[in-house]
Amino acid sequence: AQSVTQPDIHITVSEGASLELRCNYSYGATPYLFWYVQSPGQGLQLLLKYFSGDTLVQGIKGFEAEFKRSQSSFNLRKPSVHWSDAAEYFCAVGPGYSSASKIIFGSGTRLSIRP
């Protein structure tokens, strides 16, 4: 069955520190992978996506993610976090060219920033 696991429910980091949010997936075919962010009162915003090619993907707001097929992982990173990065982050898979239209989300990781 297709699934996405985000093992960290809540993470707190200091402003200026580096960040890594973990994501593991289970998917029958080559996955299409996404990271979304939801800030308070806002909708889900796409940070970045991986379809194929270079396994290191650059996104908006200085985020990047690396696809590792051998580990079924797609971890999100940022070298230096800002207070405005406090939000909830969702890893997701699908849709792809041969799969259904629905996106499958992980349960989310809430990020807090320590001043």
Partner 1 sequence: EAGVTQFPSHSVIEKGQTVTLRCDPISGHDNLYWYRRVMGKEIKFLLHFVKESKQDESGMPNNRFLAERTGGTYSTLKVQPAELEDSGVYFCASSQAIYNEQFFGPGTRLTVL
- The correct pick among 25, 27, 35, 36 for binding partner 1 (CB under 8 A) is 36
Classify residue 75 by burial, with Cβ atoms within 10 Å: 0-12, 13-18, 19+.
Answer: middle
Identify which range of 20-28, 62-70, 72-80, 106-114 contacts partner 1 by CB under 8 A.
Answer: 106-114
Instruction: Tell me which amino acid residue 98 is.
Output: S
Q: How far is the CB of 57 from partner 1 (least distance, A)?
A: 14
In the range 43-102, which residues lie near partner 1 by CB under 8 A? Answer: 43-46, 49, 90, 95-97, 100-102
Instruction: Please choose, out of 17-25, 61-69, 78-86, 104-112, the segment that lies near partner 1 by the rule CB under 8 A.
Output: 104-112
Q: Site size for partner 1, by CB under 8 A?
A: 22
DSSP-derived secondary structure for 29-96? SSPPEEEEEE-TT--EEEEEEE-SS-SEEE-GGG-EEEEEGGGTEEEEEESS--GGG-EEEEEEE---
Which chain residues interact with partner 1 by CB under 8 A? 4, 36, 41-46, 49, 90, 95-97, 100-108
